[in-house]
Structure 1
Amino acid sequence: MWKTNETHAGSVLKSALAGGLSCALSATLMHPVDTYKTWVQASTVTSPEIISKISQIGVRGLYKGSIPAIVGQFASHGMRTGICEASKFVLVNIAPTLSEIQVHSVASFSSTFIGTVMRIPCEVLKQRLQAGLFDNVGEAITGTWLLEGSKGFFRGTGATLCREIPFYVAGAGLYSQSKKVARKLLERELDPLEAIVIGALSGGITAVMTTPLDVIKTRMMIAPQGQKVTFSILALSILQNEGPLGLFKGAVPRFFWVAPLGAMNFAGYELIRKAMG
């Protein structure tokens, strides 16, 4: 038993490292698309107007907020994948009657909750830098602390959890079940490219579904200090002033940001784990 637990502990650590590395890499590559998505969600300017200004903004502008984004992705997703693997191991042993999808859902929920709470301060800094509220990371940290104190680093926590938990639970379930269906149809194991395509589609579909929660989260994090912002107030304000489509602002760039992330996160994680093995 000791050896089994020791072996599993090593597996969990490898999972955490693989998850953190795959997400940090994907966040680095796809950050400009995330920045564009934030601009669309945070302003009333149309997408064509924003696109026309990209050449003036340059690469440096598109990578604003990349440092907290990469650090946050590495730490939170490393923690999330490690906890997810450990949770599955515990659940299979203490509740062997649970179905595979139940085990996946419970493990994904618990790991996403902890990983997301860890990432929120980095997410706040990233969003504020992308929206142009601060010029650099140091200024964002000191400015947030002086204006709002420690609470400022956790602004939008509720909205972020409301977005992340259904996103990862649904995304992980969809990816897992889609792989099973594809294996059954093809009557063989999937090759890396097929796993990447399934990961991309799983991530992209769940990204579009959770866009309203992402819009509210973005508006909440970049709202001026002292302004009263709650989930319900922002949702009603968007519906009244921008209509139902306002809640889906940035859905297209979010799909094209998250689909490659899904491919790299799901499939990249598995490939890194295999390389470690």
Structure 2
Amino acid sequence: MHPVDSIKTRVQASTLSFPEIISKLPQIGVRGLYRGSIPAILGQFSSHGLRTGIFEASKLVLINVAPTLPDLQVQSISSFCSTFLGTAVRIPCEVLKQRLQAGLFDNVGEAIVGTWHQDGLRGFFRGTGATLCREVPFYVAGMALYAESKKVVQKVLQRELEPWETIAVGALSGGLAAVVTTPFDVMKTRMMTAQGRSVSMTLVAFSILRHEGPLGLFKGAVPRFFWIAPLGAMNFAGYELARKAMNKNEELAGDVLSQKKVDSSD
């Protein structure tokens, strides 16, 4: 899905519209659409792994410390903790990825050297506030929306969801959460692709509203929806399906162990 993200970044980083960027695809080329994929993979790998681990650990702590806490609050607090820490690790990779996607540099090495020379160490953490303002609501709202949507669908169907239905609910939840948090994504892109000058989130927001209007804060919402929806299916539904599979394996292992004990006692 990286090419879709590249299109979104180019829309947000420029004054061009989505159709205008699409018309320029032959000039950008396949290589241009996949530019920034290396830091994207490294950032996502570390961030998602850390976030999933912290999410599970936070849920266990909350369930033991506050067993009467509603499930929705447990999900939301766990999502907040895991997203905050997981995202902080990914910021430098995100800066390099977006600068490569916007066409500011040709390769990762050039992006690292150029960012260091132009902005110093702080340049690798540019847009941290906007990224956290985007990621935390996205995952908190996304997980809550996913959990509640799944309950509603199960109540309507009066049965457990099939795997494909779980994936569909996850995709829709992720896509809707992505559209809602697009303004922060636009500000993040503008901040990360601004070279040699430090810009605040407030300044970027007022600049967009002044020159592009309120709709300017939703630039790239369409490609962002189609980029995040499959990721939502993998993040929310895929995570749950994997967890169910692991729980089933644990139950089977427990049954086998119990059977062995019975056989040995006989």
1: CA distance between counterparts of 2:161 and 2:132?
Answer: 32
The answer to whether residue 12 in structure 2 is matched with residue 41 in structure 1 is yes
Query: 3-state SS of the aligned residue for 2:236?
Result: helix
2:255 — aligned with what? none
> Matched residue pairs, number?
247
Asked whether the equivalents of residues 118 and 195 of structure 2 are also in contact (C-alpha less than 8 Å), the reply is: no
2:65 — aligned with what? 94
* Equivalent residues in 2 for 1:36-185, closer than 5 Å: 36-185=7-156
Match of 1:270 among 235, 240, 251: 240
Amino acid at match of 1:148: D
1:249 — aligned with what? 219
Give the Å deviation of 1:49: 2.2
2: CA distance between counterparts of 1:271 and 1:90?
Answer: 22
Amino acid at match of 1:259: A
Amino acid at match of 1:178: S
Give the Å deviation of 1:274: 4.3
1: CA distance between counterparts of 2:111 and 2:244?
Answer: 39
Asked whether the equivalents of residues 119 and 195 of structure 2 are also in contact (C-alpha less than 8 Å), the reply is: no
Ranges in structure 1 where 5+ consecutive residues have no aligned partner: 1-29
Give the Å deviation of 1:152: 0.9
Structure of higher CA gyration radius? 2
Deviations 1:97-131 (A, max 9, x none): 21111111111100000000011111001000001
Deviations 1:167-191 (A, max 9, x none): 0000001001111111121111111
2:202 — aligned with what? 232
Determine what percentage of the aligned residue pairs are the same residue: 73
Deviations 1:60-80 (A, max 9, x none): 111110111111111101100
Give the Å deviation of 1:275: 4.7
Amino acid at match of 1:39: R
Deviations 1:246-275 (A, max 9, x none): 111111111111111111222222333445
Amino acid at match of 1:44: T
Q: Which has the higher contact order (CA 8 A, sep 6+)?
A: 1
1:201 — aligned with what? 172
Q: State the TM-score, normalizing by the size of structure 2.
A: 0.90
Amino acid at match of 1:36: I
Query: 3-state SS of the aligned residue for 1:96?
Result: coil
Calculate the aligned-residue CA RMSD, in Å. 1.2
Ranges in structure 2 where 5+ consecutive residues have no aligned partner: 250-266
2: CA distance between counterparts of 1:187 and 1:120?
Answer: 43
2:257 — aligned with what? none
